A and B are shown apart, each in its own frame.
Chain A
Amino acid sequence: MKIKTLSLWYHPLTSHQRYTMAAGKACDTVETVVIALETDDGHLGWGEVCPIPHYLPAYARGVAPALTEIWPVLKGADPIGPEALMTRADACLQGHVYAKSVLDIALWDLTGKTAGLPLFTLLGGRQAESVPLYHSITCVAPEEMAQIARTAQAQGITQFQAKLGASGDWQADVDRLIAVREAVGPGPLV
């Protein structure tokens, strides 16, 4: 099996609610990057990376140039067993791990499909039937954050992450934490 093409899409993802973090960083819409690796025998491997803007040393528009740089290594290569090819990708372009992650995922997808196994089996086997979600609460007024927590809890969420620091005011952060804790009660992880 050989990699024949790499296709890349940029797609906007708009959140239900504006997402605000510390230091006034916020996002309404983030751009996600989706790739498809196609092999010479018609298999497709999919990958996605969606860097939150201004957050980590990673950005959507850095992904395509990095993958273009790596493409000569990928073209015609055997995608099965991702680590061997990823080692060659690392030698071709150092760092830029966020851009390579989307490639790694697509290679694992192809590997799993070829083996006829879900990835969790290839990675060591299933140990849990389901995985709990946590709900990330944007940094807004304390009462509003408490309301978001209550709504999520009513939908079955048992773990919460509360964003702090957006207003540069530690007392407001204390109020936010207290409000969220009181809203969800003593049990859940916050």
Chain B
Amino acid sequence: MKITAITVFRKDLPLEHPYWLSGGRLKFETLDATFVKVATDAGLIGWGEGTPWGHTYVPAHGPGIRAGIETMAPFILGLDPRRVLDVERAMDMALPGHLYAKSPIDMACWDIAGQAVGLPIADLMGGGSRAPMPIAASIGARTAEETRAMIDRYRARGCIAFSVKIGGDVNRDIARIRDVEARKQPGEIMLYDVNRSWTRQQALRVMQATEDLDVMFEQPCESLDDIAAIRPLHGAPVSVDETLVTLQDASRIARDGLAEVFGIKLNRVGGLTRAARIRDIALAHGIDMFIMATGGSVLADAEQLHLAATIPPAHMLGTWACQDMIAAEIADRRGPRATRGYLTLPEAPGLGVHPDESALGAPVAHYANQGKPQAAPIRPGYQT
């Protein structure tokens, strides 16, 4: 089986409500989504999606995904999409780094591989749990009142896990945490997500002031060096999100004991192939996980769900349903949908959901084999 064409679509996904990070420092209203359709000579079609959370959040942006695919396409055309490692190596040879641009291609290849053998991606990856997966609601609000209202809204939808965005002001953050904790229901998981905004002193002041509360923080500081520096000085469990990008990051965090939780976002780490390796590092080191999309439609939600389903439920803290925040529908309500705070693995082969092409508008790029495909330079020893 060979990849014969790659078609790229761009779609703006408006957020239902404006979304704030770090106490209002960053505002998000629309996500720039890239959808990738990979066609094969066997007639199978795979779909991928890359939707960064805006362009100011991590080093990723929609136009960069499309430019990256333009540069990598000649090296991907003609490869067997079921051989995801070949595709990964070809992309790495064509363009080092830029994992966020590779992720949609990787996703489409897994979709094709699953369809080719008649299995959902999670089963193809080794076996997916059918247990409903808890959705962690993302609570990005400016004030305590807005935070309460937003949590109540998701609580009413059945959510039991919440990622509450804080950061920016020490006293306000302490007050916000105490306010949310006072209203926490039995069995709920609260993760306080700082999105890198604290300096070391700010982190220590909030973490020490809330030590009586048994709370967990995500990405308290900018870098792994910052997180390591404050590590011996506080008692709170830490989740690492934005600074977990490569397998080397994962092994450093695990080896040096920098965090108890990984927040694995598929687009950021380069897709399912790479995320699965990070998952294994976590499982081997007693690190629990949140598995999430960086954002996007039901396609991105489905992708994260397949990886989440391969993790023993005891170590899976939550996924995410960005679909709940998006005021756009590209698959006519098909695919895994948030139901009472949970997502359930689709049983259809591959990804389990494809978009309606008509909902994506005209393609912005199309790459196809023209005559002899340009072969990727392949390392000696990897030649097949």
Report A's interface with B, CB cutoff 8 A.
Answer: 23-26, 54-59, 61-62, 64-66, 68-69, 91-96, 168
Q: Assign chain B's interface to a size class.
A: 20 to 34
A25 closest partner in B (C-beta): B377
Whether A92 pairs with B56 at a CB distance below 8 angstroms is yes
Contact residues in B for A61 (Cβ distance below 8 Å): 67, 70-71
Whether B56 pairs with A24 at a CB distance below 8 angstroms is no
B53 to chain A, nearest CB (A): 11
Question: What are the 8 closest A-B residue pairs judged by CB atoms, nearest first?
Answer: A57-B97, A95-B59, A65-B63, A168-B380, A94-B59, A57-B96, A65-B67, A24-B377
B63: which of A24, A25, A68, A168 is its contact (CB, 8 Å)?
A68
A62-B67, A168-B381 are contacts. A93–B96 as well, Cβ < 8 Å? no
Whether A93 pairs with B68 at a CB distance below 8 angstroms is no
A36, B71: Cα distance in complex, Å? 24
A27, B381: Cα distance in complex, Å? 21
Interface flag for B360 (CB, 8 Å):
no
A56, B94: Cα distance in complex, Å? 10
Whether A64 pairs with B67 at a CB distance below 8 angstroms is yes
Contact residues in B for A59 (Cβ distance below 8 Å): 67-68, 71, 95, 98
Interface flag for B64 (CB, 8 Å):
yes
What is the count of residue pairs linking A and B with beta-carbon distances less than 8 angstroms? Answer: 71
A59, B64: Cα distance in complex, Å? 11
A56, B95: Cα distance in complex, Å? 8
Whether A24 pairs with B96 at a CB distance below 8 angstroms is no
Contact residues in A for B56 (Cβ distance below 8 Å): 91-94
Most chain A beta carbons < 10 A, residue from B55, B60, B61, B63: B61
A99, B370: Cα distance in complex, Å? 30
Report B's interface with A, CB cutoff 8 A.
Answer: 55-61, 63-64, 66-68, 70-71, 93-98, 377-381
Whether A96 pairs with B95 at a CB distance below 8 angstroms is no
Whether B93 pairs with A93 at a CB distance below 8 angstroms is no
A23-B379, A24-B380, A65-B64 are contacts. A96–B96 as well, Cβ < 8 Å? no
Whether B97 pairs with A56 at a CB distance below 8 angstroms is yes
Whether B379 pairs with A54 at a CB distance below 8 angstroms is no
A26 closest partner in B (C-beta): B377
Q: List 11 A-B contacts (CB under 8 A).
A: A54-B93, A57-B96, A58-B97, A62-B68, A62-B98, A69-B55, A92-B55, A94-B58, A95-B60, A96-B64, A168-B379
B61: which of A24, A25, A93 is its contact (CB, 8 Å)?
A93
A93, B60: Cα distance in complex, Å? 8
A90 to chain B, nearest CB (A): 10
Whether B97 pairs with A24 at a CB distance below 8 angstroms is no
A64, B56: Cα distance in complex, Å? 17
Whether A69 pairs with B379 at a CB distance below 8 angstroms is no
A69, B97: Cα distance in complex, Å? 19
B24 to chain A, nearest CB (A): 15
A166 closest partner in B (C-beta): B380
Whether A54 pairs with B95 at a CB distance below 8 angstroms is yes
Contact residues in A for B55 (Cβ distance below 8 Å): 69, 92-93
A63 closest partner in B (C-beta): B67
B357 to chain A, nearest CB (A): 24
Contact residues in A for B57 (Cβ distance below 8 Å): 94
A35 to chain B, nearest CB (A): 16
A59, B94: Cα distance in complex, Å? 10
Whether B377 pairs with A54 at a CB distance below 8 angstroms is yes
Contact residues in B for A25 (Cβ distance below 8 Å): 93, 377
B279 to chain A, nearest CB (A): 24
A14, B306: Cα distance in complex, Å? 46
A55, B98: Cα distance in complex, Å? 13
Most chain A beta carbons < 10 A, residue from B96, B378, B381: B96
A95, B243: Cα distance in complex, Å? 12
Whether B377 pairs with A65 at a CB distance below 8 angstroms is no
Contact residues in B for A62 (Cβ distance below 8 Å): 64, 67-68, 71, 98
Contact residues in A for B94 (Cβ distance below 8 Å): 54
A25, B75: Cα distance in complex, Å? 13
B256 to chain A, nearest CB (A): 23
A155, B59: Cα distance in complex, Å? 44
Contact residues in B for A54 (Cβ distance below 8 Å): 93-96, 377
